[in-house]
Structure 1
């Protein structure tokens, strides 16, 4: 780290045939990827786009229509730089797995990381005293 407070960054090294993370969208964090070497594919919403060295891709916030995933479809290692803004509270949707992730990293409070099945919606007053 070089002292950034609201910027996240990472160099991902991805073997052939692998994805770094599940297909997902963010409600608060935007991400940008710079392909350093190798080739692959970007899943974005319902589309797929080829990726190669020196491509830059931005993935905005949104719902399933902005879900994204980078897959190494090549025969050699793929390397890419990920950049994003950092938010204290984030909600992610995972369309393939039918999950919702809730993440909170607020200074002075315990870190929260919870994954839920999207179909387990409950009433606002479920288990509450009325």
Structure 2
């Protein structure tokens, strides 16, 4: 059995994250050898968010607040969460979410999801879809007919 303490696991910064989305994280699932489920711990600094408002296609996610009081945006609006709150995000539009730290103290959360390739997420605020791999983002307005270029 592999074991990691979610309160003590060392997190690293992503130097590519722009202001507003600067967080630190640890890919806990990878650390302990998980293959079908992913678990990440994020430390969200004051005034920062984990990622833009989005929803997954083909994946479910759970958010568990470990420390602090993040603000959660969903299709139902915004709400303040607190330590030990757990939220489920279903596959598709109903699972859209954004986690932001609007407080003056760091927030620590864990996110659990099923894994697989390819992964896809839709970003409603910016009208984009991302596909991983190949790690590409596209404007939804650029959609073409299924048969375009085939006939």
**1:40-119 counterparts in 2 under 5 A?**
40-63=70-93, 65-104=94-133, 112-119=134-141
1:122 paired with 2:109, answer no
Q: Secondary structure at the match of 1:42?
A: strand
Extract unaligned runs of 5+ from structure 1. 105-111
RMSD: 1.4
Moved over 4 A (4+): none
State the shift of 1:116 in Å. 0.4
Partner Cα separation in structure 2 for residue 123 and residue 10 of structure 1: 37
> Which whole-Å deviations, capped at 9, do the CAs of 1:5-56 have from their partners, x for residues lacking one?
1111111011111101010001111111111111121111142121111111
Of the two structures, which has the highest relative contact order with CA contacts closer than 8 Å and spacing of 6 or more? 1
TM-score normalized by structure 1?
0.85
Number of equivalenced pairs: 121
Contact 1:101 1:115 in 2 (8 A): yes
**Higher percent of residues as helix:** 2
Which position in structure 1 is the counterpart of 2:4? none
> Which whole-Å deviations, capped at 9, do the CAs of 1:41-88 have from their partners, x for residues lacking one?
11111421211111111111112x321010111110000111111022
TM-score normalized by structure 2?
0.74
